Amino acid sequence: AQSVSQHNHHVILSEAASLELGCNYSYGGTVNLFWYVQYPGQHLQLLLKYFSGDPLVKGIKGFEAEFIKSKFSFNLRKPSVQWSDTAEYFCAVRKTGTASKLTFGTGTRLQVTL
């Protein structure tokens, strides 16, 4: 069974600091990778996704992630965070295929201070 690990459970950064959130998965086959964000009191929103092609994926709000197949990793990055980025971030993986389910990591709570 596939699993997803997010090593940072709670991250506190000052505005303008750079961000990198780790995500590793365990599955040997072809996968689709996702990062979702959940702002306080809101539903999950897709930040970015990787299906194939360029392993460096750019998403919304200045976020990007790099798929490193050899490391089974899909780390999320942002060069300069803003206070409005305070949220919960979830990495998710699924095997390729139209009916396969998403497996979520435990989430990383990002708190950005002014």
Query: What is the contact surface with other proteins in residues (CB under 8 A)?
Result: 32, 34, 36, 42-46, 49, 51, 90, 96-99, 101-107, 109
Q: How far is the C-alpha of 37 from the C-alpha of 1, rounded, in Å?
A: 24
The CB-of-94 to other proteins minimum distance in angstroms stands at 8
Closer to other proteins at the Cβ: 28 or 41? 41
DSSP state of 71: G
Closer to other proteins at the Cβ: 82 or 96? 96
Cβ neighbours of 18 (radius 10 Å):
10
Closer to other proteins at the Cβ: 19 or 91? 91
The CB-of-98 to other proteins minimum distance in angstroms stands at 5
In angstroms, what CA-CA distances link 89 with 20, 27, 41, 76, 108?
11, 21, 14, 9, 5
